[in-house]
Amino acid sequence: MTQTTAEKTEHKRIYTAKQRLRIAAYQKVYRAAHKKEFQAYKRKHRVRARRQMLVWRAKHKLRVQLMQKRHRAKLRLEILEHYGNVCACCGEWHTEFLEVDHIKNDGNLHRKEIGRGSMYNWLRQHHYPKGFQMLCSNCNKAKANYHVCPHKIKKAQFEFSI
């Protein structure tokens, strides 16, 4: 039986992918077994490694941008998965409008604590803790400026009047 070119390419693709997985698995075991040596090597060549990384990043600016963009998109998807993909106040479901809200309004303090790092990264590093929710920008701004979103007031007034 002769293979067509398409079949050959597909076969090659699967083989390479499998091979890559096998190598990655082996590397993981090897690294775990030689953890101390790796750490010592890293410490010894930290400055050189950083310089090399910066050179590589400067050389591949577009690629770095694309990688960052992909990373951010993936992270945002994870955030939405954990904190819900609708506004907790008004139910806005266009995810483009949604932002992370500090339920207890201690966002400024928290941002100071995180420093320059990204909030999304922080949330992931801390395994998506409680105390956060998704709000659309309107509800988030209203909550920040007037402590309560008008949606809530309108609803309370409405419930009071009936």
For Zn ion, the binding residues (CB under 5 A) are 87, 89-90, 92, 136, 139, 149, 151
Pair of tokens at residue 158: 């409405």
Q: Least distance from C-beta 131 to Zn ion, angstroms?
A: 18
Q: Indicate the residue among 11 and 94 with the shorter CB distance to Zn ion.
A: 94
DSSP string spanning 35-96?
HHHHHHHHHHTHHHHHHHHHHHHHHTHHHHHHHHHHHHHHHHHHHHHHH-SS-TTT----GG
Instruction: Please state, in angstroms and rounded to a whole number, the distance separating the CA atoms of residues 148 and 123.
Output: 24
Q: Coil, helix or strand for 118?
A: coil
Q: Least distance from C-beta 91 to Zn ion, angstroms?
A: 7
Q: Indicate the residue among 123 and 142 with the shorter CB distance to Zn ion.
A: 142
Q: Coil, helix or strand for 15?
A: helix
Q: Least distance from C-beta 160 to Zn ion, angstroms?
A: 18
Q: Indicate the residue among 76 and 151 with the shorter CB distance to Zn ion.
A: 151
Q: Least distance from C-beta 140 to Zn ion, angstroms?
A: 8
Q: Indicate the residue among 38 and 146 with the shorter CB distance to Zn ion.
A: 146
